[in-house]
Amino acid sequence: MPKTKTKRSAAKRFELTGTGKIRRRRSFKSHMLTKKSRDRKRELAKAALVDKVDAARVRKMISA
């Protein structure tokens, strides 16, 4: 049976950290930025971690 392919869309969105957690980008930072405050935009720029509930599913997609 052939190897399963990595989901390319997931590979572009998620990244494994050194400790094995999965890092993701926050939403609401792509457009209409003039009405958002400087502090809010700075907070959205920070990376977030994928929740434990979804981690197994995402890990399966990126490490296939």
Sketch out the chain's domains with CATH numbers: 8-62 (4.10.410.60)
- Residue 4 predicted with pLDDT over 80: yes
- The rounded radius of gyration (Å) of the Cα atoms in the chain is 15
pLDDT in tens, 17-62: 999 999 999 999 999 999 999 999 999 999 999 999 999 999 999 9
- Residue 1 predicted with pLDDT over 90: no
Residues in CB range of 37: below 8 A, 6 or more apart: none
